[in-house]
Structures are given as structure tokens and as C-alpha cells.
Amino acid sequence: MDSPGRSGAPVLVIMGVSGSGKSTVAALVADTLGWDLLEGDDLHPRANVEKMAAGRPLGDADRAPWLAAIGEWIRHHTARNRPGVVTCSALRRSYRDDLAGENVVFVYLAGTREQIRERLRARRGHYMPAGLLDSQFAAFEPLEPDEAAIVVGIDAEPAEIAAEIVRRAAEWTPGTDVSPRP
């Protein structure tokens, strides 16, 4: 996945299956850079949250309004040349195609099923039960070489993962200040 030059402020889409650390890492990246942050899960309609909490996986029709809202946030930021970080599972290529743009870079937090299952078992207070992990892995379509993407493993501590993303984002966004805030 080559790093083509970008002409505007980037939007990083922190993606991966539930439990991969999207929210934690995205908050660290956004805070480090002083960029806007959107927690994509906050845009799920109530029906989606209730469905997932009941242990039922979402289908494409369920995800459509959620993805549209995230896409609108991304387009708003890129139109105003404003950098941002957003969390979104972005499991399928078609979802990523809907969110993609010249200045959008997908950041995939890659982990094994076993790593993520353990994280989900330890997590408290989230509506996504560990029982839906298999459906997330089944839905995931690996990134393809033509997608603007950075892949980062989840073996390290969140702060180290965020630092790696900041370092690698600088390669993707020449001319954009991706240096940490003082």
C-alpha cells in the first residue's frame, strides 16, 4: 500500500473489529495531534445498539445510516481542510469505498481472534458482546493494495500504537503538520 501524496488535511479512519482498541487509540492519536475526534459508535441509531446488545449482528441495511453519518463527518472535515480522526469498524470494502476520499487514510488495528476475544471478555460497560466477535471476523474483508491504508498490530500498549500511527501518518500526509502538540 503505497503512500501517495495528499493535498489536504487528512482524516484518519481508525478501523478494525470490536475490541481491537479503536476508541482508545483514536483518542490518543487525536489528542497527540490536536485533531478533531469522532467516536463512530456514537452515531449508531438506538435500534443498532439494542440489536448488538441483544447479541444479534448488524446487517448492511442496519449499518447504512451509521456509515452515511460517518461519511458526512469525513466529507465535512475534508471540505473544510480540517484534519480529524474517526473510529469505524469499516469491515467491508464497500463500506471503506463509501468513506474513502483523497485525504482519507484507513488505519487498521490488526489482531488475532484470540487477542481480541480476551480483550472483549475483559471489557466492561460496552454494548458489543464477545459473542459477536466471530460475525465481525466473518464480515471483515482484508485491505487491498489500492486502498490508502496503514496496518498496525495491537501487540503494544495503546500509547505505543498511537505513536506508531502518528509517525506513519506523517509519511501519508506530506505538507500536513502531524507533529505532536506541545
CB 15 within 8 A of CB 23: no
- 160 against 41, higher pLDDT: 160
> What is the residue type of 74?
I
Query: The domain 11-172: what is its CATH number?
Result: 3.40.50.300
Could you state, in order of their start, the residue ranges of all structural domains in the chain? 11-172
Quick one: which of 28, 93, 95, 101 has its CA closest to 66? 95
Q: Compute CA 26 distance to the chain's CA centroid, rounded to the nearest angstrom.
A: 8
Q: Mean pLDDT, to the nearest integer, of 41-60?
A: 81
- Average pLDDT across the chain, whole number: 84
- Per-residue pLDDT band at 3 (split at 50, 70, 90): very low
**pLDDT class for 131, splitting at 50, 70, 90?**
low
pTM metric for this prediction: 0.84
In degrees to the nearest 10, what's the CA dihedral of 13, 173, 25, 91?
30
Is the pLDDT at 99 greater than 90? The verdict is: yes
Q: Which of 86-100, 132-146, 157-171 has the lowest mean pLDDT?
A: 132-146
Q: Is the pLDDT of residue 177 over 90?
A: no
Q: What pLDDT is stored for residue 123 in this prediction? A: 59
pLDDT at 93 over 60: yes
Q: What is the pLDDT of residue 124?
A: 59
CA end-to-end span of the chain, whole Å?
31
CB 39 within 8 A of CB 85: no
Let me know if 129 is exposed, middle or buried by CB neighbors in 10 A (0-12, 13-18, 19+).
Answer: middle
The pLDDT of residue 32: 94
Taking the C-alpha atoms of residue 139 and residue 19, their distance in angstroms, rounded to an integer, is 15
Looking at residue 182, its pLDDT comes to: 47
Give start and end residues of each alpha helix (H) in the chain: 22-33, 46-53, 60-79, 93-99, 113-122, 133-139, 158-172
pLDDT tens for each residue of 6-34: 568 899 999 998 888 999 999 999 999 99
